[in-house]
Amino acid sequence: MIHRRTFFKTGIIGAALLGGAYSITSSLKSTPHPDYKFFDKEDLSIMGVFSLVILKGTSIKEEDLPKLLKDIEAAIMGLPPLVQLEVKELMLLFRLRPGRWLLGRNAPWGEASHEDVDAMLNDIKFHSLPIFRGAYAALCELVTASYYANSNSWKGIGYPGPLELSE
């Protein structure tokens, strides 16, 4: 059982590490993508690989990724600014080598197999630190909510769509 003191220490240490990493690397050049406001090219690569693994077992295909990534970005842009910053910090954790190392990965995510990504997601899903479990939950919620909000995915789960109201 996790104690309150341990929970707060973990939260403070995690926030300090992520905040420090973000402030140090905020000046690093990222490659903006002309079609996205929130994601840059590396974020899109990471989210694309993660999305395919998270949605394993659904009807998603690689050619569906641009629409899904646009939907994920729209969901993020609808969040409060502080939550958007936390998502950006999470993407930074996945992007930077020390963050990848903490997650058991040294090479960039774009080079990872689906099995590698699935293993990493399972590791953070059951991690002893709450910050990693929270990151897993947030990532999965963004991806799955964006996928199932699209009417093209409804057929695969047997949802006929909203009822038509007659007047």
pLDDT tens digits for range 13-50: 777 676 666 655 544 556 767 788 888 888 898 899 99
Confirm if 58 and 158 have CB atoms less than 8 A apart: no
In this prediction, residues 111-133 reach a mean pLDDT of 88
Mean pLDDT of 137-141: 94
How large is the average pLDDT for residues 109-128?
87
The DSSP-derived string for the chain is: ---HHHHHHHHHHHHHHHHHHHHHHTTS---B-TT-SS-BHHHHHHHHHHHHHHTTTSS--GGGHHHHHHHHHHHHHTS-HHHHHHHHHHHHHHHSHHHHHHTT--S-GGG--HHHHHHHHHHHHT-SSHHHHHHHHHHHHHHHHHHHHSGGGHHHHT---SPPPP-
Predicted confidence (pLDDT) at residue 102 exceeds the cutoff of 70: yes
pLDDT for 27 equals 41
Q: Which range (8-17, 38-47, 83-92, 142-151) has the least confidence?
A: 8-17
- Sign (positive/negative) of CA torsion 137, 13, 45, 70? positive
